[in-house]
Amino acid sequence: MHRRLPAEWEEQDGVLLAWPHSNTDWCGHLEAVQAVYLEILQYITRFEHCLLVCPGAAEISLRLKRAGIFMDRLHIHEVDTNDTWARDFGPITILENGSPLLLDFGFNGWGLKFPADLDNRITRELYLKGAFQGNPLKTVGLILEGGSIESDGNGTILTTAECLLGPNRNPHLNRKEIEAELGSLLGADYFLWLEHGFLEGDDTDSHVDTLARLCPDDTILYTACDDPSDIHYDALRAMSEELKAFTTRKGAPYRLIPLPWPAPRFDAAGARLPATYANFLVLNGAVLAPIYGDAADEAALAAIRQAFPGRQVFGIDCSPLLLQNGSLHCVTMQFPKGAFL
């Protein structure tokens, strides 16, 4: 049996989204956040398909049709949700002997921080509704969020110790045991652990998709802070040194491309928000990148184009998503080719 977790830049069927509604934490910002989702949906359905979960599917469908979404590429399923962070409650799809197998890991609200009873059932609900076209689903007795791991498609996993070794996820497993579990489940055999790096305001305990991203041709895009007065400066500088020390399985250094540091963003109560350009989504032929109306936006897009020269790169203003401490990649989960079409 051969298992492999495809890289995000490999061919996809589509992307999972969960529509923000009044019973989510977005209730105070619905109009602004739904506008962001509409733009994300417009781009996704331009390049591939989208699985959308939401309550009130008929009403949402009519609204999306009026918004000019490519409805022939949209698959809406009525499912109750706690929230909208599809990256972390959605299935992680591997290829087992070349065929898709959807893994339903446990989701406990980022280490028991938030209610997640409905979100933890979404993958199973979609499976029961036939959303995955008969592909098998395996429920896994392990807590794991999609935003906490990066794959190069060839057995390498990039992750953070802060998250995967957190006491409220899998406290019965140490580092080597987690590597063994992920090795068996994902076909991973080469692990790169970041010991440093964080974003103030982040609820995920340093998800790697906010800090450093594996890209084609042994490239890593990473969050860099150039402001010595910023609280993140020392930790992100230490992270950059770790990245410089990493080597590929062949012993070569990675090509490192720094992402710029946006100006600090705060909510109405003065709390720092975790703005990051690393939270981009790769699609077939495109990359959707979060921007924030910041002076560094264009430099961030240029860096991402450098890492993905064969794809169009589009910026989407994700400032409203920061209000619940996430960004673009956090609200999406891609499916490799064959997973649901």
Which tokens belong to 19? 């529509």
Instruction: Judge if pTM exceeds 0.75.
Output: yes
Count of alpha carbons within 13 angstroms of residue 13, beta-carbon side: 17
Q: What integer pLDDT is reported at residue 183 of this predicted model? A: 98
For residue 87, the SS3 value is helix
Interval 40-84: pLDDT, tens: 999 999 999 999 999 888 889 989 999 989 999 999 999 999 999
The DSSP secondary structure of 267-307, one letter per residue, reads -TT--EE---SS--EEETTEEEEEE-S-TTHHHHHHHHHHH
Contact predicate 314/288, CB 8 Å? yes
β-partners of residue 223 are 259
Do residues 101 and 5 touch, judged by C-beta distance below 8 A? no
- Amino acid, single-letter form, for residue 203: D
Mean pLDDT score across all residues of the chain: 97
The conformation of residue 238, written as its DSSP 8-state character, comes to H
Q: What is the mean pLDDT of residues 81-108?
A: 98
Instruction: For residue 194, report the phi and psi dihedrals to the nearest 5 degrees.
Output: -90, 125
Span 195-214, average pLDDT: 98
Q: What is the pLDDT of residues 219-237, one digit of tens each?
A: 999 999 999 999 999 999 9
**pLDDT one-digit tens code per residue, 15-35:** 999 999 999 989 999 999 999
Domains of the chain (ranges, CATH numbers): 3-336 (3.75.10.10)
Per the CB < 8 A criterion, the answer to whether 5 and 188 are in contact is yes
Residue type at 13 in one-letter notation = D
* C-alpha dist (Å) from residue 273 to 118, 184, 200, 318: 26, 36, 7, 12
300 burial class (0-12, 13-18, 19+ CB within 10 angstroms)?
buried
pLDDT value, residue 59: 86
pLDDT over threshold 90, residue 162? yes
Summarize the confidence of residues 135-157 as an average pLDDT. Answer: 98
Q: Give the pLDDT band (50/70/90) at residue 1.
A: confident
